[in-house]
Structure formats: C-alpha cells, structure tokens
Amino acid sequence: MKDTQVVLQDLRERREWKLPYTAIEPPSAQAGRAEQGAAAQPEPSAPKPTREDFRRGDKVAFEDKYLQTVVGTVVRINERTATIDAGDGNTWRVGYALLRRVLDI
C-alpha cells in the first residue's frame, strides 16, 4: 500500500494490478450478507448512469482503451457524453454509462 495507490496480486495467475484508491469500490451491502451465510440470490443489475446523474465539477473515474483508470473532473455535460478534464492537460469525452462517481476521502 502506498499513499495514492494499492497493489493487488493474483497469486494463482501471478498477475498484479496497481490501482488508485479512487478506483476501489467497496462491496455492496448484499455481498456482505451473502458472505454471512444468507441465501445468495442473484443481484439485480444496477441501472447504468445517465446524464442526470452527473453535474459540472463532479469527480469521476473511467477506464481508457488500455484499461488504465483515469480520474478527472466533469467540465461539460453534453447530450450523450461528458467532457472530463484529467488534470494532466488531457480532456476526454466519455459516455455516461462508462463513468463512476469518485468520493474524496
């Protein structure tokens, strides 16, 4: 564990991933109940995010085409995409279904 990222290792396949803390999603409450011995039922698929779920200034994350997590700020809300400023001089136009909201801790 480092200040801004964590390294996850899969010992079976000898692979590892370096993830920023903002890319880690805590398990849902239903997953916790299933681990405690409750009857495991298939979780209904969560609705995909839409335009109404995001506002200018929201901090979001998504994966680029190389599966690298990009964290940035919404600077513009378009009809089908949001324009994201990654803070490193790059801007991205990303569909709402690919975005995840990031919580600053």
Q: In what order do the strands lie in the sheet with 100-101?
A: 91-95, 81-85, 69-77, 59-63, 100-101
Q: Say what the pLDDT of residue 72 is.
A: 93
Contact criterion met (CB below 8 Å) for 19 and 9: no
- In the block, which residue shows the tokens 């001089």? 89
Number of domains, the chain = 1
Structural domain that includes position 83: 49-105
* 37 domain residue, yes or no: no
H or E segment to which residue 84 belongs: strand 81-85
36-79 confidence digits (pLDDT tens): 555 556 667 778 888 899 999 999 999 988 888 999 999 999 99
Query: What CATH number did the domain enclosing 79 receive?
Result: 2.30.30.30
